[in-house]
Amino acid sequence: MPPIPPTGRIDVHSHMLPGIDDGCETIEESIASIQLLKQAGYVGTICTPHLWPDMFPDNTPTNIKRWTDDLATQLHDRGIEYTLWPGGELRFFDGVIPWMKTHGIPTLAGSKYVLADFWEDTWPDYVDQAFDWLLAEGYTPILAHPERIGIAKTETLVKHLDAITARGVLLQGNFRCMTGEDGYLQDQRIRQFLSENRYWLLAMDMHRPDALPSRLDGMQMVVEEFGQEVVDLMTIDRPRCVLERSQTMPDG
C-alpha cells in the first residue's frame, strides 16, 4: 500500500475510479474531483466502488486493486500529487457471505475495516448475519450512511444501530445529508446522530465532480453546527487509524 501522507484529510468513501460503477465516468472527471478535494484539504482517497454482483459483477477486491493502481499511475504520469488506496462499498444481500468467501473481503486499504451498506426499507436478517460473520473473522465492519437507510421510523432504525454498534460495528455519515438534498428525514437523522456521537467517520461519498460542491457545503455545515474538531477527527485522525492498521498487515 502507498505511504500515508503526513498531514491532510483522507476521504474513506468515494466512487473515484472512472467507468467502474455509478461514479466518475472518465479519467477527466476523476481528476476534476481530485482538484476540488485538494482545495478542501484532502490529500488522499480510499476508492470504494460498489461491490454488488447483481449490478456490477466485475467489481471484486482483486479488480478494484488493479484499477486503483492504474488510476494512481495515471495521476503520477500527469504530475498530480494525490494518494489512492483500494477499498470497496459492499452491498449486503442474501448470499453475501458465500460471495465474500469466493471473492475475498473488500477491506479499506488492506486493513481489517470493511465498508458496507444496504438499501431495504426493513432490517433483513442477512444484514446481522453478515456483520456477525465479519466480526467473528476479525474484521471491523463500517455501516455507510445509516441516516439514508429506508426504515421509516427513526426509533426503529436506532434500535438496530444500537444493537450493531454494541457488537463492534462502526458508522459512517455522509456530508451531503447535512444539506437536505437527500431528504428531510436524512437531514434530521444526520444531525441527531452527530449530536449523539454515533458516527466514527464522515465522508464525501463522492460520485462525480458536479456533485462535490454540495458535499463540501455539508462539511462546512458540520463545522458550523458541531465544530471544526468533529470534522478533523472524522476526516483526518480516524481515517489514519484505518490506514495505520493497514500498514501493519502482512502482504498477501
Q: d(Cα 70, Cα 233) in Å, to the nearest integer?
A: 30
Q: Domain limits at 82? A: 9-247
Q: Which amino acid is at 109?
A: A
| Residue 70 within a domain | yes
CA within 13 Å, CB half, 165 = 18
Residues 6+ apart with CB under 8 A from 168: 135, 140, 141
Query: Which whole-number Å values give the CA distances from 157 to 46, 92, 112, 134, in the listed order?
Result: 27, 17, 26, 21
User: What pLDDT does 18 receive?
Assistant: 98
User: What pLDDT does 246 receive?
Assistant: 60
How would residue 1 be classed by pLDDT, with cut points 50, 70 and 90? Answer: confident
Average of pLDDT values for 39-51?
98
Average of pLDDT values for 56-73?
97
| Residue 31 within a domain | yes
| Residue 3 within a domain | no
| Residue 132 within a domain | yes
The conformational region for residue 242 under phi > 0 = left, psi -120 to 50 = alpha, else beta, is alpha
| Residue 241 within a domain | yes
**Residue 234 near residue 201 (C-beta atoms within 8 A):** yes
Q: What is the DSSP letter of 5?
A: P
How would residue 250 be classed by pLDDT, with cut points 50, 70 and 90? Answer: very low
Give the number of domains in the chain: 1
pTM for the model stands at 0.95
User: What pLDDT does 249 receive?
Assistant: 46
Q: d(Cα 133, Cα 70) in Å, to the nearest integer?
A: 32
Which residue, 55, 48, 65, is CA-closest to 172? 48
**Residue 14 near residue 45 (C-beta atoms within 8 A):** yes
| Residue 2 within a domain | no
Q: What b/e string do you get for 30-66 counting C-beta neighbours within 10 Å, with b at 16 or more?
A: bbbbbebbbebebbbbbbbbbbbeeebeebbbebbbe
| Residue 130 within a domain | yes
Q: d(Cα 174, Cα 13) in Å, to the nearest integer?
A: 9
| Residue 115 within a domain | yes
Q: What is the CATH number of the domain that holds 164?
A: 3.20.20.140
